[in-house]
Structure 1
Amino acid sequence: MFIVLGATGHIGSELVQNLDAAGKKVIAVVHDAGKAGDIRTASVEPVVLDVSDSARLHDLFRQGHRAFLLNPPADPGGDTDAVETATARAITEALHGSDLEKIVVASTYGAQPGQGIGDLSVLFDFERQAEASGIPTAINRAAYYYTNFDMLLASAREGVLQTPFPRDMRLPMVSPVDIAKAAASRLLSEPVDVGIHYVEGPHRYTFEDVAVAFSAVLGRPVRLETIPREKWEESFRAAGFSSEAARAYARMTATTVDGPQAPADPWRGDVTLLDHLGNLSGT
C-alpha cells in the first residue's frame, strides 16, 4: 500500500494516477472532503486528514509500506515559515515507529540550512527530519515549478509579466507532471535508492523566454518588467503576503538569484514550458 500526501494537488494528483495506472493500491490523503470523491477508484482510497495531526497521520502510516511526503504550502497571508516548519515537523514525527520501508520526500532546488529563507530552509529541515526517522529516504529536489506562472496568466493577458528575477537569468524549471513521474519512479524502486536527486524539465529558461512563451500562447505581445531588488518585499506585500511571508520570499528569491550553479546532471522530464502555458491558457 502506498500513501500519498497532498493527493489532490498538482503533484499528488498526478502521482496517484501514476500509481493507480501501475496497478498499485493507494491511500490518498486529502485535506478537503469535497475533493475526496474525485480521486476514488477501485485501487485508490481517499482519506480526509489534516497532516498537522501527527497522531492520526502516524496511525495512517502504519497501514502502508511506502509513502510520498509533501509539505503543504501555508497561506501567504500568515507567517509561512513558522506554519510550514510546524507542519513539516508534525509529518516527520508521525514517521517514527510507523514501520514504513521507504519514503520519498518532495523538496526544492537550493534547499539549505538557515532561517527565514522560505522553502529553501523549511524544506531542508524537512529533509533532515525525514532522514532522522531511520526510514530509507529518497529526496527529490525539484526545480522552479511552472505552476508559479499560473497566477500570472491574468497579468499576461493584459500584456505585462512582472518578475523579480533578472531577465537573462537561466533558471531550471519543471512541470508537476514530471515531478510526479520522478516521485513514482523512486517510490517503486528498491529501498536502497535513497539520497538526493534533482528533477527538472527538458530545458532551462530565462524570464524573457517565459514572456515569449506567454506571447505565443496568448497571441499577443507580453512585455517583461523586472522588479528592482529593493522593491521585492513591497511587491509581495502588494500581492497579499504578510510582512513575515514577504520578507521570507524576498530572501528566498535573493538566495536563488545569488546562489550556486544548478546541478549538471539532473533527472529530466518531457513537459516544456510551452506545453504547460498552452494547457493553462486553453490553447
Structure 2
Amino acid sequence: MHIILGADGHVGSATAQALLDRDEPVTAVLHSDRKAAEWQQRGAQVAVADVHDVDALRRIFRQGRRLFLLNPPADPATDAATEERKTVAAIVAALADSGLEKIVAESTYGAQPGDQLGDLGVLYELEQALAAQSIPASIIRGAYYMSNWDAALQTARQSGEVHTFYPPDFKLPMVAPQDLGQAAARLLLEPATQTGLHYVEGPARYSPADVAAAFAAALHRPVVAVETPRAQWPEALHKMGFSDKAAESFAAMTALTLGADFPPLSAVEQGPTTLPQYVRELVQQQPPEAGH
C-alpha cells in the first residue's frame, strides 16, 4: 500500500493517480472529506487526518509500506515558515515506529539552510530530518511549479496581463505537477534501498514572457508579462494577504531564486509536459464564467 500525504494538492493528487494508473494500491490522505468520494471512485482508499496529529498520522502510515511525503503550505496570512516547521516536526515524529520501508519526499530547487527563506529553508530542514532517521528516503527537488501560474489566468483573461516578481526575460526551471507525480510514482516503486536526490523539471526553461505567450495562444488574445519591481514586493504581498513575516520570507526566497545557479540539464530529470501544453489544458479546464 502506498500512502500519499497531500493528496488534496496538485503534486500529491498527481502521484496518487499515477500509482492508480499502474494498478497500485493507494491510500489518499486528505485534510477533509470533501474529496473523499472522488478518490474512492478512482479506486483509492481514503484517510482524513490533521497533519499536526502525530498519533493519527502514525496510524495511517502503519497501513502502508511506502509513503509519499509533501509538507502542506501554510496560510500566508500567518507566520507561514513557522507554521510549516510545525507540520514538518509532526510528520517526522509520526515516522517513528510506523513500519514504513521507504519514503519519497517532495522538496524544491534551491533548498538551503535559513530561517526566513520560505520553502527553501523549511524543505531543507525536512531533507535533513529525513536523512537523520532510519527509513530509506528519496528526495525530489522539484522546479518551480507551473501550477503557480494558475492564478494568472484571471488577469490574463480580464486585462491581458500576467503579473510576476521575476523580470519578463528571466528563464526559470519549471515543471508540471503531473510530471512530478510520475517521477514520485516511479521512485516509490523502486527497491527500498534505492535512494538519492532527484532534480525534476520540464522539457525547457521558461520566462514570464513565455508564460504570457502561452496564455495569449490559449486565450486567443494579447497577453503581456508585467513585472512588479523589487521595491514594491512587500506592498504587493500584503495586498495578496501575506503577513509581515510571510512577506519577508517570500521576498527573500524570490531574491535567492533570481540569483540562483540552477543545476545543469545533464543532472536533472526532464518531464514531457511543456508550458504551452500546461496552460492550454488549464484554460480548457476553467472556461470563462457566463457574462465574462
Q: TM-score range by the shorter chain?
A: over 0.9
Alignment of 1:92-241 (within 5 A): 92-157=92-157, 158-241=159-242
Q: Is the 8 A contact 2:47 2:60 kept in 1?
A: no
Alignment of 1:29-108 (within 5 A): 29-41=29-41, 43-108=43-108
* C-alpha distance in 2 between matches for 1:214 and 1:43: 34
Using the TM superposition, give the Cα deviation of residue 262 of structure 1 relative to its aligned residue in structure 2, in angstroms: 3.0
| Number of residue pairs matched by the alignment | 283
Q: Deviation per CA, 1:228-268: give whole Å up to 9, x if none.
A: 11111211111111111111110000010012233432111
**What is the identity, as a one-letter code, of the residue corresponding to 2:189?**
L
* C-alpha distance in 2 between matches for 1:261 and 1:72: 24
Task: Name 2:279's counterpart in structure 1.
Answer: 277
Task: Name 2:245's counterpart in structure 1.
Answer: 244
Relative distance call for 1:33 and 1:275 in structure 2 (3 A) is same
* C-alpha distance in 2 between matches for 1:137 and 1:223: 42
* C-alpha distance in 2 between matches for 1:256 and 1:28: 32
Task: Name 2:289's counterpart in structure 1.
Answer: none
Alignment pair present for 1:10 and 2:23:
no
**What is the identity, as a one-letter code, of the residue corresponding to 1:93?**
A
Q: Is the 8 A contact 1:23 1:43 kept in 2?
A: no
Q: Deviation per CA, 1:134-156: give whole Å up to 9, x if none.
A: 11010000000011111111111
Relative distance call for 1:233 and 1:263 in structure 2 (3 A) is farther
Q: Is the 8 A contact 1:141 1:197 kept in 2?
A: yes
Identity %: 46
Using the TM superposition, give the Cα deviation of residue 182 of structure 1 relative to its aligned residue in structure 2, in angstroms: 0.3
**What is the identity, as a one-letter code, of the residue corresponding to 1:279?**
E
Q: Deviation per CA, 1:59-88: give whole Å up to 9, x if none.
A: 221221110001111111111101111001
Residue aligned with 2:148, SS: helix
Task: Name 1:21's counterpart in structure 2.
Answer: 21
Residue aligned with 1:105, SS: strand
**What is the identity, as a one-letter code, of the residue corresponding to 1:223?**
V
Using the TM superposition, give the Cα deviation of residue 41 of structure 1 relative to its aligned residue in structure 2, in angstroms: 4.5
Using the TM superposition, give the Cα deviation of residue 8 of structure 1 relative to its aligned residue in structure 2, in angstroms: 2.5
**What is the identity, as a one-letter code, of the residue corresponding to 1:175?**
A
Residue aligned with 2:18, SS: helix
* C-alpha distance in 2 between matches for 1:135 and 1:240: 38
Using the TM superposition, give the Cα deviation of residue 43 of structure 1 relative to its aligned residue in structure 2, in angstroms: 4.7
Q: Is the 8 A contact 1:24 1:43 kept in 2?
A: no
TM-score, with structure 1 as normaliser: 0.96
* C-alpha distance in 2 between matches for 1:195 and 1:113: 19
**What is the identity, as a one-letter code, of the residue corresponding to 1:280?**
L
* C-alpha distance in 1 between matches for 2:160 and 2:145: 22
Task: Name 2:288's counterpart in structure 1.
Answer: none
**What is the identity, as a one-letter code, of the residue corresponding to 2:137?**
T
Residue aligned with 2:225, SS: strand
Unaligned runs of 5+ in 1: none
Using the TM superposition, give the Cα deviation of residue 42 of structure 1 relative to its aligned residue in structure 2, in angstroms: 7.8
